Amino acid sequence: MDEMLLLLGLLAFAYVGNALIAPGQVRTPGLPSGAQFMGLGFLLGPHALGVVPSDAADSFRPLAIAASSWLALVLGTAYGYAGERRLSARAFLLGFAFSACSAAAIAACVYATAKYLAHMPESDCRLLALAIGLAGCETSRQGVRWAVERGAKPGRLLRLLEELSDTYEVVPLVGLAFLFAMAPSAEASTPLSFWGWIGLPVLLGVVLGSTSALFLSSFTEAKDTWGALLGAALLGTGVAWRLGLSPVTGLFVMGVCLSLTSRHASQLRLLLSSSEPGVLLPMLLLAGALLRLPSEIGPLWVVAAAVGGRLLTRWALGFVTASIARAGPQLSNRFGWSLCCTGTINALLALSFALRFPGTVGDMVLATAAIGGISGDLIGAIGLRQALIPSEPEAAVSTT
C-alpha cells in the first residue's frame, strides 16, 4: 500500500514538473534547478517526518536507476547544441577545461578534508573526492534558462554562459565510469580490467545508439519512436547495471550517437528534452527520500569542505568567464557567483553513486549534492540577477 501511494505521488509530481519547470514557461517559481524538491523529499522521507517509510523508498531504487539513465540519454542527445545551433570548437574546449578544473579543485578539497580531518580510509577518500568533484563540476543549463525567463540582457556574457552549459557533460558523465571501475561490483558476472570497466559502457552506448539510429530511420515521424527509444534505454540500463557498469555513461554515449547519426536528430532532441522535467522532478524527490544526513563530526567536515570548495571554485571560474567575455571588473565580481547554480548532473550523478555504493560514502555524496544544490542555487540566483537581469527601472528605461 505504501509503494502504491508513493507511486501515485511520484506520478502527480511528474505532472507538476511538466507544468512548472518545462522549457518555455515564463517566470518559473522556485530555485533554478528545482533543488528545493530534493529538500522536500528529505522532509517526507524516513529520516525526517517519516511520511514515506524506509522500505517504500528502498523499493523504488530500480525506478531511480531508470530515471537517472533516461536523463543521461536526454543530455547526450542535446550535448554540444544550444537549441539547434551546433557550438564551436572553442565552446567544447572551454566546457571541458572548466568542468575538469572544477572537478579537480573540488576533489582536492574533499580528499584533504576526508584524509586529515575525518581520517577516512585511503580508498574511501579517493572514491569520495572523485564522486563529489564530478557531481559539482557542472555549469547549469537550468540557471541559464532561469535567467532568460526573467529578462537577462543578451550579449557576449550570456552567450558564453549558454555555450559552457551545453558542453560540460562529458567530464562528469563519462567520469562516472571511472568511479565504477575504482570499486568493481562484487555481483558482476564478468571479470574485467580497470579499462574494461570504463570502455565497456562506452562501447555499449555506441552499439545501442548506432543500432537505434538505424532502426529509427524506418520511422517517418520522430514522435512515433517513443516505444523504440524507451525499449532501447531500458535494455541498455538493465544490461549495464547487471554487469556492474555505469548505465548513466552508457545512455549518455547512446544519446550522443543518436544525435550524430540519426536522420531524426533535431526532432529527437526536441522530443526528448520535453520529457526531462517530468522525469527530473520525481528523481529529485526520490533522491531526497533516500538522503541520510551525516551525524558524526568527520563526515560533516567533509560535506562542509565540499560545499565551500565548490562555491569558491565556481566563483573563480565565473570570474574567468566574465573576463573572457570582456566584462568589466565590477560585473565580473557580481557574475562570479552565477556559476554556483546546479542542475541535472548534480542530482543525477550523486543518486547514481549512492545507489551503486550504499553506505557512509554514498550518503555523504548525496548529502553534499542536496546541501550544495540548494545553497548553490540560492547564491547563483543572486549572482545571475545582479549581473544579467536588469532592475525594473532600468528595464523600463530601455523600453522607452
What is the pLDDT confidence band of residue 399, given thresholds at 50, 70 and 90?
very low
Q: Which residues have CB under 8 Å from 374's CB, separation 6+? A: 31, 35, 36, 38, 39
pLDDT of 26 higher than 50: no
Residue 269 lies in a domain: yes
What is the pTM assigned to this prediction? Answer: 0.89
Mean pLDDT of the chain: 85
Task: Count how many domains the chain has.
Answer: 1
Give the CA-trace dihedral at 63, 83, 387, 392, to 10 degrees.
-100
Kindly tell me if the per-residue pLDDT of 14 is higher than 70: no
Predicted pLDDT of residue 219: 86
What are the pLDDT digits (tens) for 85-101? Answer: 889 898 999 999 999 99
In a domain, residue 12? The reply is no
Inside any domain, residue 27: no
**pLDDT tens by residue, 115-169:** 999 999 999 999 999 999 999 998 888 888 888 888 888 888 889 998 889 899 9
pLDDT for the residue numbered 8? 60
Chain mean position to CA 222:
26
Q: Do the domain assignments include residue 6?
A: no
Range 129-150 burial, b when 16+ CB lie within 10 A, else e: bbbbbbbbbbbbbbbbbbbbbb
Work out the average pLDDT over 28-33. Answer: 69
CA 157 to chain centre: 23
26 falls within a domain: no
The residue segments making up the domain with residue 80 are 35-391
Tell whether 252 is covered by a domain: yes
Judged against a pLDDT cut of 60, whether residue 393 lies above it is answered with: no
CATH number assigned to the domain comprising residue 134: 1.20.1530.10
Grid cell at residue 391: 532592475
Q: Is residue 350 part of a domain?
A: yes
Of the given ranges (188-197, 223-232, 307-316, 388-397), which has the lowest mean pLDDT?
Answer: 388-397
Task: Please write down the long-range contacts of 161-164, taking CB distance under 8 Å and 24 or more positions apart.
Answer: 161/321, 161/338, 161/339, 162/82, 163/82, 163/87, 163/88, 163/91, 163/94, 163/95, 164/91, 164/94, 164/95, 164/98, 164/139, 164/321
Residue 9 included in any domain: no
